[in-house]
Amino acid sequence: MRSSYLAYAMSVIVSRALPDVRDGLKPVHRRILYAMRESGFTADKPYRKSARAVGDVMGKYHPHGDSSIYDAMVRMAQHWSMRVKLIDGQGNFGSVDGDSPAAMRYTEARLAKASSFLLDDIERDTVDFQPNYDESENEPKVLPAVFPNLLVNGAAGIAVGMATNIPTHNPGEVIDATLAMIANPAIELDELMQIIPGPDFPTGGIIMGRSGIRRAYETGRGSIPVRARAEIEEIRKDRQAIIITEIPYQVNKATLQEKIADLVRSKEIEGISDIRDESDRSGMRVVIELKRDATPDVVLNQLYRFTQLQTSFSANMLALDDGKPRTMGLKDILEAFLRFREEVILRRARFDLNKARDRGHLLVGLVLAVANIDEVIALIRAAPDAATARESLMAREWDASEVVPLLELIHDEGNVIIDGKVRLTEAQARGILELRLQRLTGLEREKIQGELGEVAQKIGELLAIIESRPRRMEVMREELLAARAEVATPRVTEISDALGDQTDESLIEPGQMVVTITRDGFIKRTPLEVFRSQNRGGRGRTASGRRGDDIIVRSFNAHTHQWVMFFSSGGKAYRMKVWHLPEAAPTAKGRALVNLLPELGTDSITAVLPLPQDEELWEDLHLAFATASGNVRRNRLSDFRNIRASGLIAMKLDEGDSLIGVATCREGQDVFLATKNARCIRFQITDETLRVFAGRGSTGVRGIRLGEGDAVISLCILNHVDASVEERAAYLRMANAKRRAENAALDDSAEDETVSGDEETVEITGDLTQERFEELEQQEEILLTVTDGGFGRRSSAYDYRVSGRGGQGITNMTFSANRRGKEVVGTLPTLDGTDVMLVTDTGRLIRLPVSQVRVMSRQASGVTLFRLNDTETVICVFPVLEDDTEEGDTDEGSEAGAKVIGEAGASEAAPEAPAAGDDAAPDA
């Protein structure tokens, strides 16, 4: 078995699966080309039936089935498989979609012009021949290729225990590199790669990076990433499409489209609405139409990642060198070809030299016969037959004076000269006997002399080729240049230095986005710059198109590269990057969340939390949960680092309860809860007040005790400041006095403010020192409270005392009887220089600077922030965390906003009298 298997293995390796480094062909391809040349199916002849060529190959040289021969023949005729076609086919020879070719009885073929550069001079003893399988014919062991076909057309094959996969290259570049090696045999690989930068596949595409090419050219093995050529076009208004014009080498276009369709159906790739193939005779064109809210660059990157639009060509440059399999780099292949080609030129020169000498030798005999024509004729006439005449001519001694210089001219040693006499050889005697009478004329005698001179010149050139290696290299160079003129074509595969492995996120331009979620579960993101700042009291602009009676219930702004956690009414957590959310215009309704979170089911999203971009901060952060019933819980943020696509249990909820907020926090900070009935509580985060829960399945502990009909609407995390009640009261008095002095110019809006009595009276025993005041001022946080009637005010966080967890809290705001709105919609911390956005139930939105809202007592009813319609209410308020905005607005809200501000003094009702004991009354 060992000997039988080894014999079989060597047969497969040497005689079937691996190409020869010299001509770049496997035996079956070599036999097809040689048989078609022998049968006269050349490029200058008409097409012949493919079945006839296959029959000749099978009957004479290739003892295998006709299908293997025809398949190899078909591949050599496919322009998407070969960089330079070797067979010129007529008929159906398959397609890049993987369609089978027509049967060989229906197609016709002949050799392509490029094949002549592989077959020329094969009859001039340039290569060795061997008997065919039944020793009835001889076949060449290799073809005398003029150019390195192994590199130009590549090869692929699987032998026993080894395989080869050589990429195709640009023929002009390969020949140029061969010429460079002729000029400088010691050329370095880097210099060669300046000429051959990389493979050139017949289907085009883009090679990503050069490291894989370098390894393949240096060691013979390397992975070369190739991606399709794609462009993003706008095919109609608001609709874009990805247009594929080139695909990687050896990729089936039809299978590729089927794979894309499967990925779209399984929702692994989203954003594709249609796929169609518009390819025709002018070229390839696959149109992948996108949905309106899809990001083209992201969809294209996903196609590169999940489909064969990007593949890796695993180069394994294994070929037969001197009959042995060898893995070779670029320089090794070119050196092996140059050695072979030099041998071909040398053998051809020797063959031609022998032919020229034979012709010269014959011409010397003719010159001698013409010079002695009378005597030659007499000898011939006297001879009874041709054999006697030949012997008589050979036996006669002739005067050598006329032929001696000719013999020296052609370097002929066939005639022996003795004592000035010469005898004719048998070849010369036969030539004289075959001489036609017309050659005896004077003109013909001159032609013989001229031909003899040409032969002499040719012999001299051939001797120079044989004796001089530089001359052989010069001949090789001339032939390579002639081949280049015929086979060179422009490069079709681009080589890009850009990295091929790009994340989807890297394709998204960084920026701030406004994310809006509606009651019916539609979500979208809109660039923040769309909403420019307006003045307090403006009319705003439309923030979202509504679907029926759908309304916006939640809005926030976040960076495109931030993670956003979604918490559902069922207590599950989901996670998604902001850029993955659908981008839409301010008036668009967005996309259903259930399509982004398939596992959401019938649940609704009740809380949304943008997470810090720097994930290293997650280790030190906790999550604080708050429910509408007043329960709170604390967990480590790292507990939610790995969230499956199907979601993760975040918190167990009581019947009828829901999450209203989730925020990041640290040990020692304060939790601030605000209710819709204007109550609030603030307590510090410690292990005693709010411990870290180990699991995610509990309902938490009580944060605030609610009154009847009340519910928690806001969760904030505030920094804890160690200050006594007296220090806080003293600071508020000093801060109010400072603000009155700084904001005297705003007193004309004081009629918008109303205050009422305070719940606690603090006896002030003395003022703060300047150093202590400045210390507290630096740590001060300002809270903005907004009502559903469009009113709001800012208050110092020092106005909210720190108490224990679970109490009834204190008053957050006093509602005025003559104003719309009886509920608080949000309380949140704000920073000077930033903006806030207010959203109404009709989808209108206004963005205004918080600096336009004065700081007042926590019980003041506030000023007008948003001018509402009669049936309109504010449902959401959220901060804008960047200040790169333009003043004014060019859309419908700007003029209306300015008009309202101008009329504010006349239209607002007179302020209510402040309640007794309200320390903020002077501010109002």
pLDDT band for position 340 (cuts 50, 70, 90): very high
More confident residue, 661 or 683: 683
Most confident among 592-596, 644-648, 811-815 (mean pLDDT): 811-815
Percent of the chain residues topping a pLDDT of 90: 41
More confident residue, 141 or 862: 141
Give me the long-range contacts of 255-262 (CB less than 8 A, separation at least 24).
255/98, 255/308, 256/286, 256/307, 256/308, 256/309, 257/286, 259/307, 259/308, 260/288, 260/303, 260/307
pLDDT (0 to 100) of residue 894: 30
> Residue 401 gets which letter from DSSP?
T
Q: Which residues contact 286 (CB under 8 A, 6 or more apart)?
A: 243, 244, 253, 256, 257, 275, 276, 277, 278, 279
Burial state string for 562-592 with b = 16 or more CB within 10 A and e = fewer than 16: bbbbbbbbbbbbbbbbbbbbbbbbbebbbbb
pLDDT band for position 519 (cuts 50, 70, 90): low
Q: Which residues contact 259 (CB under 8 A, 6 or more apart)?
A: 307, 308
Amino acid identity, position 150: L
Q: Which residues contact 442 (CB under 8 A, 6 or more apart)?
A: none
Q: Report the candidate in 233, 234, 253 with the shortest Cα–Cα distance to residue 243.
A: 233
pLDDT (0 to 100) of residue 339: 95
pTM strictly above 0.75: no
Q: Report the candidate in 194, 198, 195, 193 with the shortest Cα–Cα distance to residue 212.
A: 198
Q: Is 347 helix (H, G, I), strand (E, B) or coil?
A: helix
More confident residue, 130 or 918: 130
pLDDT band for position 414 (cuts 50, 70, 90): low
Tell me how far apart the alpha carbons of residues 76 and 83 are, in angstroms, rounded to a whole number.
10
Q: Is 231 helix (H, G, I), strand (E, B) or coil?
A: strand
Whether the CB-CB separation of 150 and 220 falls below 8 Å is answered with: no
pLDDT (0 to 100) of residue 315: 95
**Among 117-126, 228-237, 273-282, 810-819, the least confident range:** 810-819
> Residue 860 gets which letter from DSSP?
-
Q: How buried is residue 769: exposed, middle or buried, by Cβ count under 10 Å (0-12/13-18/19+)?
A: exposed
pLDDT (0 to 100) of residue 878: 79
End-to-end CA, the chain:
105
> pLDDT tens for residues 45-100?
999 999 999 999 999 999 889 999 999 999 999 999 999 999 999 999 999 999 99
Using CA atoms, how far residue 874 sits from 435, 540, 812, 870, in Å, is: 119, 12, 18, 12
> pLDDT tens for residues 286-334?
999 998 878 888 899 889 989 999 999 999 999 999 989 999 999 999 9
Other CB atoms closer than 10 Å to residue 156's CB: what's the count? Answer: 16
What element of type H or E holds 274?
Answer: strand 272-277
362: left (phi over 0), alpha (psi -120 to 50) or beta: alpha
pLDDT (0 to 100) of residue 412: 66
**Among 248-257, 674-683, 729-738, 760-769, the least confident range:** 760-769
> pLDDT tens for residues 598-610?
777 777 777 778 8
**Among 137-141, 409-413, 728-732, the least confident range:** 409-413
pLDDT (0 to 100) of residue 588: 77
Q: Report the candidate in 435, 456, 438, 457 with the shortest Cα–Cα distance to residue 368.
A: 435
* Residue extents of the structural domains in the chain: 2-178, 229-308, 344-483, 510-907
Tell me how far apart the alpha carbons of residues 906 and 814 are, in angstroms, rounded to a whole number.
23
Tell me how far apart the alpha carbons of residues 53 and 42 are, in angstroms, rounded to a whole number.
12
> pLDDT tens for residues 309-322?
999 999 999 999 99
Using CA atoms, how far residue 148 sits from 39, 129, 151, 162, 318, in Å, is: 25, 21, 6, 23, 15
> pLDDT tens for residues 358-397?
888 888 888 878 777 888 888 888 888 888 888 888 888 7
E-assigned strands of 832-900?
835-840, 844-849, 863-864, 874-880
Q: Is 140 helix (H, G, I), strand (E, B) or coil?
A: strand
The topology (CATH level 3) of 229-308 is Gyrase A; domain 2 (3.30.1360)
> pLDDT tens for residues 753-787?
444 434 444 333 347 888 888 888 888 899 999 99
pLDDT (0 to 100) of residue 755: 41
**Mean pLDDT over residues 173-201, rounded?**
95
pLDDT (0 to 100) of residue 898: 26
Q: Domain 344-483: which CATH class?
A: mainly alpha
pLDDT band for position 534 (cuts 50, 70, 90): low
Note the CATH number of domain 2-178: 3.90.199.10
Tell me how far apart the alpha carbons of residues 235 and 243 are, in angstroms, rounded to a whole number.
10
More confident residue, 744 or 15: 15
Would you name the residues annotated as active-site residues? 106
pLDDT (0 to 100) of residue 99: 93
Q: Is the CATH number of domain 510-907 2.60.40.420?
A: no
**Mean pLDDT over residues 443-448, rounded?**
73
Supply the DSSP string of 179-213, one letter for each residue. HHHHH-TT--HHHHHHH--S---TT--EEE-SHHH
Is the pLDDT assigned to residue 684 strictly greater than 60? yes
Tell me how far apart the alpha carbons of residues 178 and 476 are, in angstroms, rounded to a whole number.
10
> pLDDT tens for residues 115-157?
999 999 999 999 999 999 999 999 999 999 999 999 999 999 9
Amino acid identity, position 48: R
